[in-house]
Structure 1
Amino acid sequence: MALTRLSSPSASPPRSVPAAPTRPGRRWITPWLFLAVPLIMLVTFTYVPVANMISYSFTDWDGVSPDKDFVGLGNYAQLFTRPELFQVFSVSLFYLVASFAQIALALYFATVLSFRLRLRNLFKGVLFFPYLLNGVAVAFVFLYVFQPGGTLDGLLRLFGVDAKIFWLGDPDLVNVSLAGVSIWRFLGLNFVLFLGAIQSVPAEIHEAAELDGASRTQVFRHIIVPSIRPIISLSVILGVSGALSVFEIPYVMTGGSGESRTFVIQTIKLAFQFNKMGLASASAVVLLVAILLITWVQRRLIPEERPETR
């Protein structure tokens, strides 16, 4: 007896059950639920204080009295007509040079330690360790390093230089000494940024360069630098803004006295020592605008590279 087919070839395949449709409103609101807390904290602790600072810059508030008389652009006019308030920007040049030296050193060490080298993990830890320390602690440590007859003078005596140098008291040496501390303090940050960017370059590119007989200098010039150019640009922005807004190291080590007073230290003294909160707010606004302007110019000169879309 012949067996009959249970299904014919022309029978249609079973239909899949369609997925339940998602509501457009739920899909729109889900990202904002995750962003709600960070956005609230950002607005509360960043944008609201900045708005208050801008409003204070148009008043003569002393920081204590409840009365705030509106003076318009009077604080800005006083700021730009008193040269001594802008002469402190010359101190930032020392830190600006130090930031470029720091970037060069960090790029050099990151490039060297990206190749196969004995004890390279130890050297990585030694270079990054200063950035883990608190800035105030670093400043106190270097107070003993720079004091007359201290650690630095003791090292110089080993090389035959027997002299007590006033590293923090000599107007010609104080900013050089403080800038040197900032290089030691922040070298680890740029080093880690550069090392991570270099290690993200595909290994096949390095292998191909080695097979073609390229030297390490050629690899650095034609492969590493073009590949990490956005990170170098970011480090330059951070270095320039940091040079303009340096505060903790000179404030702890010298109190901003003499030739070591920076623009931020001067702003804080105007606010809390001379009770000129309106003028100090105007100084802070000028510094903020200067940093934003320099960042914009740097972005225009070195545009961000974006991957090509097909």
Structure 2
Amino acid sequence: MRGTSRRASGAPASGARGAGRGIFQKLTPWLFLSGAVGLLLLFTYWPAVNLFYYSVTDWDGIDLTKNFVGLDNYVQVFTDPRIFNVFWVSLYYFAASFAQMAIALYFATILSFSTRFSSLFRGILFFPYLINGVAIGFVFLYLFQPGGTLDTVLSWFGVADPPQWLGDPNVVNWSLAGTSVWRYTGLNFVLFLGAIQSIPRELYEAADLDGANKWQQFWSIIAPGIRRIIGLSFILAIAGSLSVFEVPFIMTGGANGSATFVIQTLQTAFSFRQVGLASAMAVVLLAIVLVVTFIQRRVFPDEKVDLT
């Protein structure tokens, strides 16, 4: 009786410990998530909220007072030709993004099958993406300078009077866009390569039995199978072409008509001390990216592809 009473009296305590352990186990994932979510809120969403607030003020970045100006900054963004015309520079990078997607898709298709030295070529294609953007800017700065590497190579083929690659306003944006192609082709290549290799090999074997050539296999198997990745690359191309910064800033500083919208925004904020106007420019850029992404998702819906 005495031992029975002891076990009976100890049962509630053990049950309480079990209940407490169960609650702790349920809270453990949320405890791990709280740190990451807190940092995300602190360094991403809270600055975004402040960005919207600054965009309706005339703050210069120094004074403690911020006067409310309403939508005046947004009106200036769309009416001042010096601000809005820099969007035309993004068209060069947008066109270049299609070139890099085509190059990446071509090599990803070839190297996804048995090819001699395929691992070496994969590393060569992906390596430029691993290099720091500042380093790439300085390397291509020496490449494009008058009498530099590119002019020397062209002189071997009889080109005695090459253009000013970074000094001619008609050529500079093509030069900078070509630099971006060299840098970001590796990212698209890896995305396409992983998507192509995820396609079942049985489909290619069945296509071979049906007599389909490689071009027919590409349009009937590979292109539909990686449609989602192509859509993702298209979104990244639009966002990247609108937010280009490192390469033109390092190589030209935005001179000779090479200033992108991001460079113009930074100059407005830190050189001209118009943080309110620069914030409005950043909000407009964000809105454009979201609208274009929404349109792309409506035109090319994310449907599940069934190749069988």
189, 210, 230: which one aligns with 1:232: 230
In our comparison, the structure showing a higher alpha carbon Rg is 1
Compute the displacement of 1:84 (Å).
Answer: 2.1
Q: Which runs of 4+ in 1 moved over 6 A?
A: 20-24
Q: Contact 1:149–1:164 (CA<8 Å) still a contact in 2?
A: no
Q: Could you list the per-position Cα deviations for residues 230-262 of structure 1 after superposition, in whole angstroms to 9, with x for gaps in the alignment?
A: 000000000000000101100000000121011
169, 172, 177: which one aligns with 1:171: 169
99, 104, 107: which one aligns with 2:105: 107
Structure 2 equivalent of residue 125 of structure 1: 123
Structure 2 equivalent of residue 268 of structure 1: 266
SS state of the match for residue 257, structure 2? helix
Aligned mates of 2:44, 2:212 — CA distance in 1: 49
Aligned mates of 1:208, 1:36 — CA distance in 2: 50
Q: Could you list the per-position Cα deviations for residues 205-243 of structure 1 after superposition, in whole angstroms to 9, with x for gaps in the alignment?
A: 122222222211111110011011000000000000000
Q: Any unmatched runs of 5+ in structure 1?
A: 1-19
The residue type paired with residue 117 of structure 1 is T
Structure 1 equivalent of residue 96 of structure 2: 98
Structure 2 equivalent of residue 277 of structure 1: 275
182, 203, 211: which one aligns with 1:213: 211
Q: Does 1:45 align with 2:47?
A: no
Q: Contact 2:168–2:256 (CA<8 Å) still a contact in 1?
A: no
Q: Any unmatched runs of 5+ in structure 2?
A: 1-17
Aligned mates of 2:229, 2:33 — CA distance in 1: 26
- Output aligned runs, 1:24-173, within 5 Å: 29-173=27-171
Aligned mates of 1:26, 1:266 — CA distance in 2: 51
Aligned mates of 2:31, 2:131 — CA distance in 1: 36
Aligned mates of 1:30, 1:303 — CA distance in 2: 37
Aligned mates of 2:66, 2:229 — CA distance in 1: 44
Compute the displacement of 1:24 (Å).
Answer: 8.4
Aligned mates of 2:280, 2:60 — CA distance in 1: 13
Change (3 A) 1:240 1:254: same
Compute the displacement of 1:25 (Å).
Answer: 5.8
User: How many pairs does the alignment contain?
Assistant: 289
Give the fraction of aligned pairs with identical amino acids, expressed as a percent.
Answer: 59
RMSD, aligned α-carbons: 1.8
The residue type paired with residue 289 of structure 2 is I
SS state of the match for residue 260, structure 1? coil
Q: Contact 2:224–2:305 (CA<8 Å) still a contact in 1?
A: no
Compute the displacement of 1:86 (Å).
Answer: 0.4
Compute the displacement of 1:153 (Å).
Answer: 0.8
Q: Contact 2:134–2:246 (CA<8 Å) still a contact in 1?
A: yes
Aligned mates of 1:27, 1:228 — CA distance in 2: 40
Which protein is richer in helix relative to its size? 2
Change (3 A) 1:230 1:26: farther
Q: Contact 2:109–2:193 (CA<8 Å) still a contact in 1?
A: yes
Aligned mates of 1:180, 1:87 — CA distance in 2: 21
Aligned mates of 1:275, 1:291 — CA distance in 2: 25
Q: Contact 2:54–2:279 (CA<8 Å) still a contact in 1?
A: yes
The residue type paired with residue 50 of structure 1 is A
Compute the displacement of 1:33 (Å).
Answer: 2.9
Compute the displacement of 1:28 (Å).
Answer: 5.5
